Structure 1
């Protein structure tokens, strides 16, 4: 198994990554404040103005840990207030959700990945995934950053499908070994491994960049998520998968996503599992975005999953019920949730990008080529709130070609 790197080696590696505007935290701030700024303003000036210490800095914004003073109202009337940091991000931020994704069935890794996982045959036929195999577009050359609980770094599904280890990071343990830690029975154990495995079933030649921000019970810090988005962007990710969210809008995550978009990085976020007419953040903010998409879940009959959130801001639907994927210790698992449907779309985007089309074109084509599911009787009460429809890989590839 991979072991945590020695502190001295970690320090050297972090020093070598000077291009990333990223400051790993040795302590977890209780609150943070995110301030739009420019490179003309120094860290010292910001700390004097707001109190606290600089925790993350880019050329467009800064995150200050434990600020002691509120900012002046920004130009245009926007007031950026301090927000909770510790454990503000969760796999399932809705307290009313049944946490459906944790209803897990486990199996051994009995067959090779190239033969496919049998539980998914119907779901992959549903989205016409075979069309990507026929077109020879498989995500080659694309990097999908999975910001989650980490991955089982030794699982067979990831053989030759992870980026080089200097591009990994674990924000929970502050090292370069984002191992999916825990044991069966802990709420989020295996979640990141599972999500990454779904991406690779859709885009088998893509590379996964594992970034750990959530612990084994599925919670993490806002600062860590924002930092991971910046890291992924600066380290070459093409797509960022967020099978997580917050119950309230976060300035830190919003500005980090904007930073990623400024570098033409696409961001995919799970809609949430509350079965309410509202999405988790940041998915709620992705309406009409050219580079971001929120994803809800359907069953094998294209009916909205009973757990899936919905709403006018929803972008796309994808299979998210009884999906089979990798699980730690050379196993597979079967899970349900929008956490599972989001990486289907992340994988689809990686496939689209491997056609050498521009990111905006890829996302637009994925949306426009989707199958309308509004007219299905069981979806009638959600009409207009299921995004553009369920993804259709055959039509998607045809459009791109």
Structure 2
């Protein structure tokens, strides 16, 4: 369903936004990159050049990560090559000299599959008055619709504990882009030099689409949730999803590395795939080895397995800085859409979560994508304070301090399949900050 503003209010909205929007948005100049059918992750060897590897595969080098070759860091000694296959995977690997290259599908492998649930026509006026962060005793005044959710995760207590409110911490939102001109984000974004649109191939990660259709507004909502939890954090917008919510392996893998190189301390991935992408996991393994924290949504198919890369979190064993997040309703019951699994680490409230929407509006979305940024914001709160534990302990501590939701009969069928329980930000900070 498409929601439209009345004509008179739409004109008011435009005037308010033009008065309040001050973001320095770069011009769109680049051509959209070629979207290859397949990619191959190639471990680099002495003597390799971009030209030699591209020629061997018959494609294009999309990423050349050689920083770890001298030190033996296998996750930072790889090339990512895009190609349209004419031969099978075995022939591609043979052409690369038989090395342990990993071939996979590239196009439209990832999705941000959540659902917009309501658009508030009065949102533009709310956002235009007072800008991005109107706080009083830990409550974000413009979005009273979220008060019950914030009480559920103990946000007010958490913000009273973490008094810097995420200041100095950059959170990369790898998603459908955001509404760069939305008043909610004025003063809340990282420097424009750190932005990028991997889908369109330029430096303007602006949401594109039609209100109420596809993924339009998804990234804007995700970023707005993070800022409600950690209002002094900075958002680094990186676009990898199109208006329909789909995106490529190469874009996601490149965006993860970009985020780390540009200074992000937390990465939010409110997207997923049914396939375990080697290229994306190599990028995550490299990022988490730099003590960058990565949050990944578990998916919305109501299935007994979670999507990748969330499924690789494995309770901190293989990737201690990667956290998988599912969704519950306001009564702590598993959301009807949320995937579940013994591999899932934590759940958060992910139903009807209000946040900014494109064109100066406010809207609610439902999905594990909405629960994930609550945890990302919580990690930003912790990183803005003096820690009493190592950074690599934070995602595990967040899971371990979750509230038990298995006590009643309602979640009995999901015992052990909804992680350690529901996010409790105050308990998490009580164990991690001084």
> TM-score if structure 1 supplies the norm length?
0.88
**How far apart, in 2, do the equivalents of 1:312 and 1:72 lie?**
38
* Aligned partner of 2:166 among 113, 124, 139: 139
Which deviates the most, 240-249 or 82-91? Answer: 82-91
Give the match's secondary structure for 1:34. strand
Aligned positions, number: 378
Q: Which runs of 5+ in 1 are unaligned?
A: 11-23, 93-98
**How far apart, in 1, do the equivalents of 2:32 and 2:356 lie?**
31
Hey, what does 1:122 align to over in structure 2? 148
Query: Does residue 234 in structure 1 map to residue 234 in structure 2?
Result: no
**How far apart, in 2, do the equivalents of 1:72 and 1:345 lie?**
43
Cα gap change, 1:25 to 1:190, in 2 (>3 Å): closer
Residue pair 1:296, 1:308 contacting (<8 A) in 2 also: yes
Give the match's secondary structure for 2:121. strand
* C-alpha deviation, 1:52, in angstroms: 2.1
Query: Does residue 377 in structure 1 map to residue 409 in structure 2?
Result: yes
Cα gap change, 1:386 to 1:167, in 2 (>3 Å): same
Residue pair 2:109, 2:249 contacting (<8 A) in 1 also: yes
Q: Say which one has the larger Rg.
A: 2
Question: What do residues 129-153 of structure 1 show as CA deviations (whole Å, max 9, x unaligned)?
Answer: 0112212141111000001111111
Residue pair 1:132, 1:138 contacting (<8 A) in 2 also: no
* Aligned partner of 1:70 among 63, 69, 92: 92
**What does 1:194-343 align with in structure 2 at a 5 Å threshold?**
194-287=221-314, 288=316, 289-343=319-373
Give the match's secondary structure for 2:337. coil
**What does 1:38-187 align with in structure 2 at a 5 Å threshold?**
41-59=48-66, 60-66=77-83, 69-71=91-93, 80-92=101-113, 101-109=115-123, 110-111=125-126, 113-114=133-134, 115-135=141-161, 136-187=163-214
**How far apart, in 2, do the equivalents of 1:37 and 1:107 lie?**
53
* C-alpha deviation, 1:356, in angstroms: 3.3
Hey, what does 2:399 align to over in structure 1? 367
Q: Which runs of 5+ in 2 are unaligned?
A: 1-17, 19-23, 67-76, 135-140
The CA RMSD over aligned residues, in Å, is 2.3
* C-alpha deviation, 1:5, in angstroms: 1.8
**How far apart, in 1, do the equivalents of 2:92 and 2:28 lie?**
39
* C-alpha deviation, 1:82, in angstroms: 2.4
* C-alpha deviation, 1:370, in angstroms: 1.1
Give the match's secondary structure for 1:104. strand
Give the match's secondary structure for 1:378. coil
Cα gap change, 1:199 to 1:6, in 2 (>3 Å): closer
* C-alpha deviation, 1:70, in angstroms: 2.2
> TM-score if structure 2 supplies the norm length?
0.82
Cα gap change, 1:73 to 1:27, in 2 (>3 Å): closer
**How far apart, in 2, do the equivalents of 1:140 and 1:249 lie?**
34
Hey, what does 2:35 align to over in structure 1? 28
Hey, what does 1:20 align to over in structure 2? none
**How far apart, in 2, do the equivalents of 1:276 and 1:370 lie?**
22
Cα gap change, 1:353 to 1:78, in 2 (>3 Å): farther
Question: What do residues 315-345 of structure 1 show as CA deviations (whole Å, max 9, x unaligned)?
Answer: 1111101111110111110111001000001
* C-alpha deviation, 1:36, in angstroms: 2.7
Give the match's secondary structure for 1:102. strand
Give the match's secondary structure for 2:338. coil
Give the match's secondary structure for 2:410. helix
**How far apart, in 2, do the equivalents of 1:116 and 1:335 lie?**
17
Residue pair 2:43, 2:99 contacting (<8 A) in 1 also: no
Give the match's secondary structure for 1:71. helix
Which deviates the most, 35-44 or 335-344? Answer: 35-44
Give the match's secondary structure for 2:93. coil
